[in-house]
Amino acid sequence: MATQPLPCRVEQICMQKFSWDESLSTGVPMIDTHHKELIAAVNDLAEAIEQGKGATYIKKLLIFLKYYAEWHFGHEEQCAAKHKCAIAETNQNAHTQFIQTFGNLHDEYRQSDANEAIAQRIYDELSDWLVKHILQIDTQIGVCIRHAKANG
């Protein structure tokens, strides 16, 4: 996954940005499109944090994540099940953990008076998810799906 260093002044917070590259590709167009949307949301959060507006951006992001989890996870799990991917259960368990983690962070956000520290924690969790989940699990689902389609 490519990251872009950000030019910034010493007094600014500099956040890591993510960009799409082939290491993230599952080869399944709809899944890849969903992942690109998540990367954009993470980068938007990074920009908001840099501008000292992370806490205000979090509300919008948490709404996005709720819907993202519903439509993306559902689609991905259906594809994995349909093609009998060996990693399907691992993927589903990871999705369940993601929903629980972000549910807890949402609760923490509501109790925190929307401070910048919670914005940073959410950014850290999402960044970790991008690196670990997509690269380690979702790409395997893509291989399974492409293999199943090729062998018809």
Does any domain span residue 14? no
- pLDDT at residue 22 in the model: 86
Domain count, the chain: 1
Buried residues in 105-129 as b, exposed as e (16+ CB within 10 A): bbeebeebeeebebbbbbbebbbeb
What is the C-alpha R_g of the chain?
Answer: 16
Does any domain span residue 6? no
Does any domain span residue 21? no
How would you write the pLDDT of the chain (152 residues) with one tens digit per residue? 555 544 544 445 678 888 888 888 888 899 999 999 999 999 999 999 999 899 889 888 988 988 898 889 999 999 999 999 999 999 999 999 999 998 898 888 888 877 888 889 899 998 998 888 998 999 999 899 888 888 87
Burial of 50 (0-12, 13-18, 19+ CB in 10 A): middle
**CA gap 88, 101 in Å, rounded:** 20
- pLDDT at residue 2 in the model: 52
Does any domain span residue 79? yes
CATH of the domain at 81: 1.20.120.50
**Structural domain span for residue 131:** 28-150
